[in-house]
Structure 1
């Protein structure tokens, strides 16, 4: 077995991972947009509107970067190099944290 065969699995793991990133990005973008609209129309504090909009922005950025990330992962796997999560993980974390902050703002202001 060659070095590349040891590192590279012939399955579709990287493609499934790409789809998972796409699902995460779409959920953040659409959920953030919807929540932003709801928060603005229902009179929630500006903080809720801003953090939901930030979640939508993070989702949009992740969606745009999906192709680049996939190519980087493929190159690292074929080259036997370690994977570097880079900014994508930061955007996913920030988007998720924004959703939580917006939800908490919503829960504590609605009576």
Structure 2
């Protein structure tokens, strides 16, 4: 497909070409998966803070709930930025940008799981 002309300055710049719609839709599905992950983390925070009968003191409960909520906020801010970066890379035929967020998310969830496990075993 033809390159688009862009910019509000009256000049043209190479904006690349529109990627195959299947790749665009796959990128959108990944964005939505990140948003679902953030929602699941918020649900986990609500459960830890208000619903699940953990025999924890308020401090550990608040820390775990806050960590889950903070992870959700980071992912929610990150998801549209990642979507945009990937879309631009595909449009320009560049390699997709790498991200540490999947690893950090897995590490954060593992730490929360360990806290819940050890909180129940020790509590």
TM-score, normalised relative to structure 1: 0.71
Q: 2:55 touches 2:120 (CA, 8 Å); kept in 1?
A: no
CA distance in 1, matches of 2:61, 2:100: 24
Q: How many residues align?
A: 106
1:57-102 residue CA offsets vs partner (Å, 9 max, x unmatched): 1112101222111101111122222222334324422431233123
Specify whether residues 99 and 85 from structure 1 end up closer, same or farther in structure 2 by C-alpha distance, changes over 3 A only: farther
Name stretches of at least 5 consecutive residues in structure 2 with no aligned partner: 1-15
Specify whether residues 94 and 56 from structure 1 end up closer, same or farther in structure 2 by C-alpha distance, changes over 3 A only: farther
Task: Check if 1:24 corresponds to 2:61.
Answer: no
Task: Check if 1:9 corresponds to 2:34.
Answer: no
Q: CA deviation at 1:43?
A: 4.3
CA distance in 1, matches of 2:43, 2:29: 21
Q: 1:28 touches 1:58 (CA, 8 Å); kept in 2?
A: yes
* CA RMSD across the alignment: 3.0
TM-score, normalised relative to structure 2: 0.66
CA distance in 2, matches of 1:56, 1:75: 29
In structure 1, the residue matched to 2:13 is none
Task: Check if 1:44 corresponds to 2:80.
Answer: no
Q: 1:55 touches 1:98 (CA, 8 Å); kept in 2?
A: no
- Which of the two has higher C-alpha Rg? 2
Q: Counterpart of 2:21 in 1: which secondary structure?
A: coil
Q: Which structure has the higher relative contact order (CA within 8 Å, separation 6+)?
A: 1
